[in-house]
Amino acid sequence: MDNLRSLWYSSFGVRNMANYTTSTSDKSKDEALKRWKLGALGLFGLEYFYVGRVKAGIVRVLIGVFLILGIFSGLIGGSIDFLSAIIGLPILWAIIATPNFYRLKMGTFRDNVGNPLRE
């Protein structure tokens, strides 16, 4: 049957049609969102560890730790006043952590091999 089909297609100048497959990750989008919430609302990058992107997770942990330590050491040392810390922390959090929240909600967050997370 396949030979007959390919003969028919080739005689009319039609090439074989491509077979498309869609792959999704074995990781769940809801579970990654739970990890995002658990990791101080995305500041510590637990969602990266869940999907297997360990290097990105380590970078996110280091950024989160240095951000928290920097703000608290500035508060203790007196170089940052309390009002600046209260205003600055949510702004820095929004810059660092909320893009992953939107990517998780919209379904564009990928695992370590580039597959989208399953529902």
pLDDT at 80: 77
pLDDT at 89: 79
**Distance from CA of residue 100 to its chain's centroid?**
5
Decide: 111 and 52 in contact? Cβ < 8 Å: yes
Q: What are the boundaries of each domain within the chain?
A: 26-106
β-sheet bridge partners, residue 110: 116
Decide: 45 and 61 in contact? Cβ < 8 Å: yes
pLDDT tens digits for the chain (119 residues)? 556 655 555 555 555 556 667 788 888 999 999 988 888 777 788 899 999 999 999 998 898 888 888 888 887 887 777 787 778 777 888 888 888 889 999 989 998 888 888 88
β-sheet bridge partners, residue 28: 118
Assign 9 to helix, strand or coil.
helix
Cα–Cα distance measured from residue 16 to residue 24, given in angstroms and rounded to the nearest whole number: 26
What's the token pair of residue 66? 């240095």
